[in-house]
Chains A and B, each alone.
Chain A
Amino acid sequence: MSSPKGGPAGGGAPKTATTFGEDTVAEARELISRYPQSRSALLPLLHLVQSVEGYVSQEGMTFCAEQLGLSEAEVAAVATFYTMYKRRPCGEHLVSVCTNTLCAAMGGDAIYKRLQQHLGSESAPLGHEDVAGTPGESGSVMLEHAECLAACDLAPVLQVNYEYFDNQTEDSAVELVDALRRGDKPHPTRGAPLSDFKTVERRLAGLLPEDDDEFWTDVDGPSQAVETMRGAQLAADRNWTAPAAPADVPLPEVEAK
């Protein structure tokens, strides 16, 4: 077990101060204040450090440890458990292709394979969590295969920075990553206007846009897919409804114990 040397209590600036400045510290404190016990803020803080660096570095883990009074080992144990914490620098964008059974059967495996070859080459396909381009530079893309993304009625699906691109084909996926590589930001089928991995990690930490317009533009991004509403639409078309609810139903009387 190693513990951080020279934390805030040791006097002077913490050793992570160059990467994670005062703003990040203030944000970390705000996140911590949302929980009855500070350690609950560890997952949000790991998202936060990822929003600064584009991955969870050793320094990022040290920062979390400092903020929460945990050992680095305690933080590392958590950071390495969850797949969304990247241990190597992510690209500007993260492309996650669902290759769980149903998506795979509907074409997800083929999409993933095609993207591996397209972003890498036929002889050297891009691997899981490898980056095409240079992390930190515009148009860089990390590719990963993902487990079920809970959009099975829209299979095969992929996500870019966790925004949904539904009903994909090999060709549409290639077009999508080509656009990302060019620096374009195609609009997701369901989700907010595309930003980048770091921005989205701020949202996951629990930090929403401060600007009201931006906040609502993101929130109001599309979600009403045809598939999502199919049952409701069919019921409306056929005039099928749940039984009419009676008015003013009293709550049952219970004896006070």
Chain B
Amino acid sequence: MSTSEKAPLTPVLTKRWLSPQSWRLETYEKLEGYTAMRKALSAAPEQVIQMVKDAGLRGRGGAGFPAGVKWGFMPKDEEKPHYLVINADEGEPGTCKDIPLMMADPHALIEGCIIAAYAMRSHHCFIYVRGEALHPMRRLHAAVREAKQAGYLGHDILGSGFDLEMTVHAGAGAYICGEETALLDSLEGRRGQPRLKPPFPAASGLYAAPTTVNNVETIATVPSIINGGSDWFRAMGSEKSPGPKIYSVSGHVERPGQYEAPLGTTLRELLEMCGGMKDGIPLKFWTPGGSSTPLFTADHLDVALDFEGAAEAGSMLGTTAVQVFNETVSVPWAVMKWTQFYEHESCGKCTPCREGTFWLAQVLERMVDGRGSEEDIDTLLDVCDNIGGRSFCALGDAAVSPIQSGIKYFRDEFLALCESNRPARAAGTVASPEPVPGSDSQAAQPVGAQA
């Protein structure tokens, strides 16, 4: 089809979403469902892994690690049970792709799980679903039930000799459980706190056994790769970031929604499909992949939104959660809101993140309240330096992203908030940061207090 040579949208994951009752097995099977599973089960596990490696499928949960390579880390022997764990704990602010995917097409995820588990010699797969994602969880339970009845799960799947059990597991409200080792601790019935790596989960994961944790969108992509092959997959996207990707566009655009496009699509192209900025009010800032990815501005409309393009422009692709904000939104306010989120979700395990996010939020609240000073900007950046790269897991790095990028592109706006507090200092009073209500000044010392 010549018109689709360079189609701006390439529905692969979303192609079944328009079908009535797309979540039912009957619909899925009418639309090629479970054909890839049959193909994979008739091949060797190594061939399946090689196919996913050749396709260059990269993790869709934010980090972009090559999925086939991750699978290849799993040991060949089965001295201990192997586990496949699906990270369905979607909670990164702005991210809203896995939840609609699980609602619309749960069998794509189940089929992907069967193929991935077979490739990694796993006989028990867990889908860890965010607790607040109730309706997607129902659809998963139903899909598992249907798949079991059809003989696609359980003992000796379709006579292949391969057994697979699947457990849908609900979380209970903790953003940190999206971090793969925190997720494993949570699945073991503990507080969701990250583990030290190494050992990586492939060596010691769930119950200290070999484990692979993959994102929903990553695994749901696998059946199409097994059927279409690596060349077909690579016909979309860029060389290092191949394939289609669901871009979740939200905020001040005319038609927010889920747009599945080749990796490397730009915001300019996405905005065109979204009908432009809402009411024509100009774009001010946006996130390419959730609040943990440094902000972009109107200067970044033509950045290729793939793993390399976003990184070269100073941010990260993340989850392709494109949150668009217009000129009416204050950057310091938005940054404060996100910081309050990270403060709330910091698991408390490591000091830089636990204490740092606590103080960052208070400084930002003071600034937004008009009680800040210019030095607060330096304090913020200094605290950020003491969190980024120094915390136990990526939550700390994520927490400083909006602040650092916000100040980098919109320093004037932060300064303007401090404007009213200038005359006092001009008059010669020694500037001492206003005490934060309820604070213990001693507690502030460890992080960034030397400024």
Contact A228/B17 with A104-B337, A150-B90 known, Cβ cut-off 8 Å? yes
The stretch that binds A, out of B41-49, B360-368, B370-378, B423-431, is B41-49
B400 in the interface, Cβ–Cβ < 8 Å?
A: no
Q: B168, B174, B187, B260: which contacts A232 (Cβ < 8 A)?
A: B260
In Å, the complex CA distance between A23 and B334 comes to: 48
Contact A40/B248 with A204-B134, A242-B4 known, Cβ cut-off 8 Å? no
**Can you list 18 residue pairs at the A/B interface with Cβ under 8 Å?**
A81-B347, A82-B192, A85-B173, A100-B337, A101-B337, A102-B325, A105-B334, A148-B93, A152-B93, A152-B96, A159-B132, A162-B133, A221-B138, A229-B14, A240-B11, A251-B47, A252-B230, A254-B46
The 8 A CB mask of B225-255 against A (1 = contact, 0 = none) is 0111111100110000000101111111001
In Å, the complex CA distance between A105 and B94 comes to: 12
In Å, the complex CA distance between A248 and B258 comes to: 30
The stretch that binds B, out of A43-51, A112-120, A133-141, A178-186, is A43-51
B1 in the interface, Cβ–Cβ < 8 Å?
A: yes
Interface residues of A (CB under 8 A from B): 34-37, 39-44, 46-47, 68, 77-78, 81-85, 96, 99-102, 104-106, 146-155, 159, 161-164, 190-192, 200, 203-206, 208, 215-216, 218-221, 223-236, 238-246, 249, 251-254, 256-257
In Å, the complex CA distance between A15 and B31 comes to: 54
Q: Determine if B341 and A153 form an interchain contact, defined as CB atoms under 8 angstroms apart.
A: no
Which residues from chain A contact B248 at a C-beta distance below 8 Å? 152-153
B345 in the interface, Cβ–Cβ < 8 Å?
A: yes
In Å, the complex CA distance between A233 and B274 comes to: 12
Q: Among the interface residues A68, A203, A206, A231, which one has the most CB atoms of the partner chain B within 10 A?
A: A231
Q: Determine if A146 and B132 form an interchain contact, defined as CB atoms under 8 angstroms apart.
A: yes
Which residues from chain A contact B169 at a C-beta distance below 8 Å? 40, 43-44, 206
Q: Nearest Cβ distance between residue A77 and chain B, in whole angstroms?
A: 6
Which residues from chain B contact A230 at a C-beta distance below 8 Å? 255-259
Q: A47, A148, A223, A244: which contacts B135 (Cβ < 8 A)?
A: A223
Q: Nearest Cβ distance between residue A215 and chain B, in whole angstroms?
A: 7
Which residues from chain B contact A100 at a C-beta distance below 8 Å? 93, 291, 337-338, 341
10 A-B pairs closest in CB distance: A230-B257, A249-B229, A42-B189, A245-B228, A152-B250, A231-B259, A82-B172, A83-B173, A84-B173, A240-B7
Which residues from chain B contact A101 at a C-beta distance below 8 Å? 93, 291, 323, 334, 337-338, 341
Q: Nearest Cβ distance between residue B78 and chain A, in whole angstroms?
A: 14
Contact A231/B170 with A153-B257, A254-B50 known, Cβ cut-off 8 Å? no
Q: Nearest Cβ distance between residue A151 and chain B, in whole angstroms?
A: 5
Count how many chain B residues have C-beta atoms less than 8 Å from C-beta atoms of the other chain. Answer: 108
Q: B10, B17, B91: which contacts A224 (Cβ < 8 A)?
A: B17
Q: Determine if B8 and A240 form an interchain contact, defined as CB atoms under 8 angstroms apart.
A: yes
Q: Determine if A46 and B172 form an interchain contact, defined as CB atoms under 8 angstroms apart.
A: yes
Contact A148/B95 with A43-B170, A249-B229 known, Cβ cut-off 8 Å? yes
Q: Nearest Cβ distance between residue A114 and chain B, in whole angstroms?
A: 18
Which residues 1-34 of B sit at the A interface, judged by CB distance below 8 A?
1, 3-5, 7-12, 14-15, 17-18, 21-23
B139 in the interface, Cβ–Cβ < 8 Å?
A: yes
In Å, the complex CA distance between A256 and B98 comes to: 36
Q: B5, B50, B132, B255: which contacts A252 (Cβ < 8 A)?
A: B50
B116 in the interface, Cβ–Cβ < 8 Å?
A: no
Q: Determine if A147 and B135 form an interchain contact, defined as CB atoms under 8 angstroms apart.
A: no
Q: Determine if A84 and B18 form an interchain contact, defined as CB atoms under 8 angstroms apart.
A: no
Q: Determine if A40 and B173 form an interchain contact, defined as CB atoms under 8 angstroms apart.
A: no
In Å, the complex CA distance between A233 and B17 comes to: 9
Which residues from chain A contact B244 at a C-beta distance below 8 Å? 242
B167 in the interface, Cβ–Cβ < 8 Å?
A: yes
Interface residues of B (CB under 8 A from A): 1, 3-5, 7-12, 14-15, 17-18, 21-23, 39-40, 43-44, 46-48, 50-51, 54, 76, 81, 90-96, 98-100, 103-104, 124, 130-135, 137-139, 141-142, 167-175, 186-192, 207, 224, 226-232, 235-236, 244, 246-252, 255-261, 273, 291, 321, 323, 325, 329, 334, 337-338, 341, 344-345, 347
Q: Determine if B334 and A39 form an interchain contact, defined as CB atoms under 8 angstroms apart.
A: no
Which residues from chain A contact B17 at a C-beta distance below 8 Å? 224, 228-229, 232
In Å, the complex CA distance between A159 and B257 comes to: 19
Contact A106/B251 with A152-B94, A223-B100 known, Cβ cut-off 8 Å? yes
In Å, the complex CA distance between A223 and B231 comes to: 34
- Extra pairs beyond A44-B170, A221-B138 (9, CB < 8 Å): A40-B189, A102-B323, A152-B96, A152-B251, A206-B169, A236-B18, A239-B1, A249-B229, A254-B47
Q: Determine if A231 and B46 form an interchain contact, defined as CB atoms under 8 angstroms apart.
A: no
Q: A46, A106, A208, A223: which contacts B141 (Cβ < 8 A)?
A: A208
Q: Determine if A242 and B10 form an interchain contact, defined as CB atoms under 8 angstroms apart.
A: yes
Q: Among the interface residues B4, B40, B50, B174, which one has the most CB atoms of the partner chain A within 10 A?
A: B4
Contact A68/B189 with A36-B81, A84-B131, A152-B251 known, Cβ cut-off 8 Å? yes
Which residues from chain A contact B135 at a C-beta distance below 8 Å? 162-164, 190-192, 221, 223
Q: Nearest Cβ distance between residue B284 and chain A, in whole angstroms?
A: 11
Q: Among the interface residues B191, B226, B325, which one has the most CB atoms of the partner chain A within 10 A?
A: B191
Q: Determine if B9 and A105 form an interchain contact, defined as CB atoms under 8 angstroms apart.
A: no
Q: Determine if B141 and A43 form an interchain contact, defined as CB atoms under 8 angstroms apart.
A: no
Q: Determine if B15 and A242 form an interchain contact, defined as CB atoms under 8 angstroms apart.
A: yes
Q: Nearest Cβ distance between residue A95 and chain B, in whole angstroms?
A: 13
Q: Determine if A231 and B251 form an interchain contact, defined as CB atoms under 8 angstroms apart.
A: no
Q: Among the interface residues A164, A229, A232, which one has the most CB atoms of the partner chain B within 10 A?
A: A232
Which residues from chain B contact A42 at a C-beta distance below 8 Å? 189-190
Closest to A42 in B: B189
In Å, the complex CA distance between A85 and B175 comes to: 14
Closest to A84 in B: B173
Which residues from chain B contact A47 at a C-beta distance below 8 Å? 131, 170, 172
Closest to B21 in A: A220
Q: Determine if A153 and B54 form an interchain contact, defined as CB atoms under 8 angstroms apart.
A: no
Q: Determine if A43 and B174 form an interchain contact, defined as CB atoms under 8 angstroms apart.
A: no
In Å, the complex CA distance between A251 and B36 comes to: 11
